[in-house]
Structure 1
């Protein structure tokens, strides 16, 4: 089973904003000859100029470290997003990261749209009375610098008004509309599906902890024990991220070997090393602007 996309009315504005896209994957499109007034994109094509991501929430340290942005739009027009995954258990070990290609001139317009829609705002957004929800972080980067707007419980607090002023509710509604537009951007770029390419990273962070046998479910009789797989990457467990989790970075040929092995594994696969140790590993492909495990420690 795969996730189906609904097209919100707000996406129609982006459909008009973003033209049909250039060749998918691979190299980025040529730089724009002009940009919207007041918006100049960075020269480095790998810089993410617009990102939407979750931070915090009642989740495990492994989930926090391994989070991918919901959307990452880069200066050359590459758009990284999370594609559908099979609704099975245990799920696949490898995240389904897709790459679309937008025209960089449209990306500059999209950046200005995000700033105008509230990312550049500084007013207090209030706190709905909801516990343990994540915050939604919008990050915009232009040649002039980076702007960040973070809002607690943006989706979970939709419709919640207790403790919020009319102004806070209005700003939250505008940011929620922007969130819907941006997270539907891959569909706007590719309404028929099939145009995206699967992301092939040059570096992969393996998030490592000691393997423990999965507990049997007393209700659902599933074969949870998975075949062990020999680890093809760097020495484990790698550098510590926190008391419970380590990170090992695979690059070059090792990154290719780890990617191939992870694509054939599940989230419960035990990974074995030459000394007989078994490890539980989740995988975080690094995006083009990321260089190592340190990029995962400040995501919140």
Structure 2
């Protein structure tokens, strides 16, 4: 199952209503988590958990604006302390909610390590050549896994979009891609299985661009910006960033929860379009954590 949440407007990349996937327990799974009513915040485990990434599946590149890459979240991350953080379903409305629907579930450290070992067995190996199918403008799926003291990374173009009879792919490459895709689908499905909890981060980045009114006929109500003055530090031409934590993060999170992706935020007498990018447990240093996004 693929989970997507875009930085773009609905006219450019439609939001897709994604249903949760079910996956039965097996020897290779991390099992099922109990249901909890309250969101899990990173602060609940800060200083107690290990934010080392054991497995991360993310999307990079593709035919998207340069600014898009800074707001893109990994599909799923498995941490050494057993946290599994993933993108949850988003409503098929335009404009969509301002905040992404991050989900978290907790598994044992042993189960987390099993997912990492399974990733290497599925073909996550640095330098593994999985071919270049005849598909244009599709993001690469990048999978990193650490197991047995060894970290491996594989990059796959159009992992799910390539045709089974693509003449650019050898039989061996097709077989390897199928095996890797099965692992990716299994982990994505597991991450959303059994009603995972909402994840609220300790730190939040706000990506600001000058607001440009759209011609979709939908009138957006400007809102006063409750965070640090915009636009903040420049990440790339036209895209800036500020980050907050603590009480300032809580205030901004609450305001963003009442907004949508096209809400004009007023700061310094100007209107800004803001994309909210939660910083994950391993992403430290505020906006600097996003500077190498691809």
Deviation at 1:99, TM superposition (A): 0.9
Is the alpha carbon distance of 1:152 and 1:283 closer, same or farther for their aligned partners in structure 2, counting shifts above 3 Å?
same
The correspondence of residues 1-300 of structure 1 with structure 2, limited to 5 A, is 2-7=17-22, 11-12=23-24, 17-21=29-33, 25=40, 27=44, 45-120=50-125, 122-142=127-147, 144-188=149-193, 190=194, 193=195, 196-216=196-216, 222=217, 224-273=218-267, 275-291=268-284, 292-300=286-294
Deviation at 1:145, TM superposition (A): 4.3
Distance 1:79 1:57 in 2: 25
Distance 1:77 1:63 in 2: 29
Is the alpha carbon distance of 1:248 and 1:5 closer, same or farther for their aligned partners in structure 2, counting shifts above 3 Å?
same
SS in 2 for 1:246: strand
TM-score (norm 1): 0.84
Is the alpha carbon distance of 1:123 and 1:288 closer, same or farther for their aligned partners in structure 2, counting shifts above 3 Å?
closer
Cα RMSD for the two superposed structures:
2.2
Distance 1:127 1:173 in 2: 14
TM-score (norm 2): 0.85
Runs of 4+ in 1 over 3 A off after TM superposition: 11-16, 20-28
Is the alpha carbon distance of 1:124 and 1:78 closer, same or farther for their aligned partners in structure 2, counting shifts above 3 Å?
same
Deviation at 1:123, TM superposition (A): 3.2
Deviates more, 1:104-113 or 1:12-21: 12-21
Is the alpha carbon distance of 1:232 and 1:15 closer, same or farther for their aligned partners in structure 2, counting shifts above 3 Å?
farther
List per-residue Cα deviations over 1:121-148 (Å, max 9, x = no partner).
Answer: 6431110011111100001134724211
SS in 2 for 1:113: helix
Gaps of 5+ in 2: 1-15
Question: Quick check: 2:210–2:238 contact (8 Å CA) kept in 1?
Answer: no
Deviation at 1:15, TM superposition (A): 7.0
Distance 1:158 1:108 in 2: 32
- Count of residue correspondences: 271
Distance 2:237 2:292 in 1: 16
Gaps of 5+ in 1: 32-43, 217-221
Question: Quick check: 1:213–1:225 contact (8 Å CA) kept in 2?
Answer: no
Deviation at 1:113, TM superposition (A): 0.8
